[in-house]
Chain A
Amino acid sequence: MRQEAIDEAVGVRADFKGGVVTPLAFRRGARQHRVVRVNARWTDRAGKHPSFYFSVTADSGDVYQLRLQSADLVWWLDSVTMEG
């Protein structure tokens, strides 16, 4: 497994149903990645505003870490983990 830090603000299409946020797809550069599975979600409550983290598997098969900052509602793409 190979993890690469990305740390980019990205556009995310997400479902906010029943008080639960679920990312559905995100756009990085020109390419749109469809989320096929949310593997794990956790909340970091350090600081004034919590951040919501998601580990997702994209349609490419790679695993991405997305973060929603509640302070400004900006989504960040933190990292990608690839095979190999």
Chain B
Amino acid sequence: MPSAINHPASAAAPEPAHSAPLPSPTNRMAPVRCEARAAVEVDGVEVDAAEDRSVDGVATGTCIAGIAEAPGATRRGTSDVRDTRAGAGGRPEFGPGRIDESAQLAPGRVVLHVDIDAFFAAIEQQRDPRLRGKPVIVGAGVIASCSYEARTFGLRAGMRLTEAKRLCPHAVIIEGHAQIYRCFAEEIFARCRAIAPAVETYLDEAYCDLTGTGRLHGDLVATAAALKHDIHAATGLTVTCGIGPNRMLAKLVGKTVKPDGLARIDAADADAFLRDRPLEQLAGIGHAHAKTLRSMNFATIGDLRALPPHVLEALFGANGRLLYERCRGNDTAPVTEREIPLSISRETSFHQDTADRAEIEGMLEYLVGRACRAARELAIRPRTVAVHVRYSDGEGDEQARSLHQASDTDPVVLELALELLRRLFTRRVALHAVGVKFSNFAAAGGEQGSLFDEREAGRRAALFRAFDRVRGAYGHGALVSGRALRLKHKLQEDRHGFVLRTPSLTK
């Protein structure tokens, strides 16, 4: 694989410290206060002193340390990566065993963001070497992932396949292999867990909390470089790593060195790093927020700092307060293992758009069964069930309702889901996709039924626990029930159950 040439330092030229916003009555948070807070907890220093120290850190104007592979360099060890720290007087070699003092001595939080480059497409290129160097698209209906070769034609995730084919007619289109991607992701995340006490994982990225591991790991940049090497050796995939004093900065600095890059930013450099970036890069600003802000003549993250918190709250609700902090480089969100998710979704598009109610209800029952099993594994019960449909003409609709009592047993949830589907599926148009989403969870305990069916509820809960054990041992496809049996000869099966066209991998 060709090595990427990254120049993170170019985006991180030292800025004069005087332009950093200082604490004021309206801006009670110093630019790197969250890091200063962490220093207080770790070092037992007075809060004010810690804040002073953090502001001084800005004044020193040190900048991002970006580590990128040199062109043509092999992928062995840290001796092959270079420190492109602009403020360090050129580009000193970053040899093995060298201690990165700033990483070791940083008193606050250290978060490592690991992002798998062009995840699905890279796996397909890995599985079939004939695809390497070619534009590869993974997705059905829309692009779920595309290779970097495809991106040179303007393709990007979320784009409709019709548009993608117009822009790049010779692209190889693959519907995808969700279960394989999950296996690769688990392999990578297991390596992240080996170096970090807390790892928060998503579909193709992970946040690793390295706070307090300086003595264990020594040079955290070298640790990240070793992780990159391990992941590549085990899976053949490249990842981009960003190290920062919080999640937001770690992810953002990683984005500057994609693909296959490694960069670090210190708390003191956050202000200069963020100020001139387009505001779309700030976490929490999507297309709608960006449009609103651009119409008000705000273009950069630094511009956003002119708005007081109450104005941002008036514009964007509760999210406004977060934006107020984030545009100053503050992000106090912890890295957690997400034991209880906000929602559990299972959705898929049909291999062929269908108006066959039996097939649609069968698919819904199958998806409800998968989602209920996921909830039982997490020992949580959903109170709210939502069903959404997308018609073949692109129109979509969703309805949600709450159960009388939170439940994780398939028939209880399915009854409500089918009712929602009957209300939703009213047009004489074939369905393209269907999905179910659980939310508003309660911790699982003994299922409380009504006075007269309590015994029945207990028996039903025991039955589904037994189902889970069988499926755990022999795969989900070992037991298929009810309407889902109608899918039996229509869909391919593997040990994980039916092979869906575009299954949701995580939510």
Tell me if A40 and B126 are in contact (CB < 8 A): yes
The complex places the Cα of A1 from the Cα of B128 at a distance, in Å, of 10
- Which of A42, A45, A47 is the one whose CB lies under 8 Å from B474? A47
Q: Is the CB of B235 within 8 A of A42?
A: yes
- Nearest residue (CB) in B for A37 is B129
Within the assembled complex, what's the spacing in Å between the Cα atoms of A37 and B179? Answer: 23
**Interface membership of chain A positions 61-78, coded 1 if the CB is closer than 8 angstroms to chain B and 0 otherwise:** 001010000000000000
Q: Which residues of A contact B291 (CB under 8 A)?
A: none
Q: Helix, strand, loop or mixed for chain B's interface? A: helix
Give the contacting residue for A42; candidates B172, B183, B472; CB below 8 A.
B183
Shortest C-beta distance, A66 to chain B (Å), equals: 12
Cross-chain contact B129 with A53 (CB below 8 angstroms): no
For window 36-84 of A, CB contacts with B under 8 Å fall at: 37, 39-40, 42-48, 51, 53, 55, 57, 63, 65, 81, 83
Secondary structure call for the A interface: strand
Chain A CB within 10 Å — which of B183, B236, B473, B492 has the most? B183
Min CB gap A9→B, angstroms: 14
Q: Which of A42, A44, A45, A51 has the most CB of B within 10 A?
A: A42
Knowing A1-B174, A46-B475 are in contact, say whether A81-B187 is a contact too (CB < 8 A).
no
Q: Does A5 lie at the interface of the complex (its beta carbon under 8 Å from any beta carbon of B)?
A: yes
Q: What chain A residues lie within 8 Å of B183 (beta carbons)?
A: 42-45, 53
Tally of chain B residues near chain A (CB < 8 A): 24
Q: Does B67 contact A (CB under 8 A)?
A: no
CA separation between A5 and B495, bound complex, in Å? 14
B187 touches A55 (CB 8 A): no
On whether the beta carbons of B473 and A48 are closer than 8 Å, the reply is yes
**CB of A24 to closest CB in B, whole Å:** 18
Chain B residues positioned under 8 Å from A47 (CB to CB): 472-475, 495
Closest A residue, CB atoms, query B186: A45
> Do B129 and A39 have beta carbons less than 8 Å apart?
yes
B473 / chain A contacts, CB cutoff of 8 Å: 47-48
Shortest distance in angstroms between A37's beta carbon and chain B's nearest beta carbon?
7
Closest 10 CB pairs of A and B: A55-B127, A48-B473, A42-B183, A40-B126, A40-B127, A63-B128, A44-B183, A47-B475, A39-B129, A39-B127
* A to B CB contacts below 8 Å, 20 in the list: A1-B128, A1-B130, A1-B131, A1-B172, A39-B128, A40-B235, A40-B236, A42-B187, A43-B183, A44-B179, A44-B183, A47-B473, A47-B495, A48-B473, A48-B474, A53-B180, A55-B128, A63-B128, A63-B129, A83-B130
Q: What is B's interface to A at a CB cutoff of 8 Å? A: 123, 126-131, 172, 174, 179-180, 183-184, 186-187, 235-236, 472-475, 492, 495-496
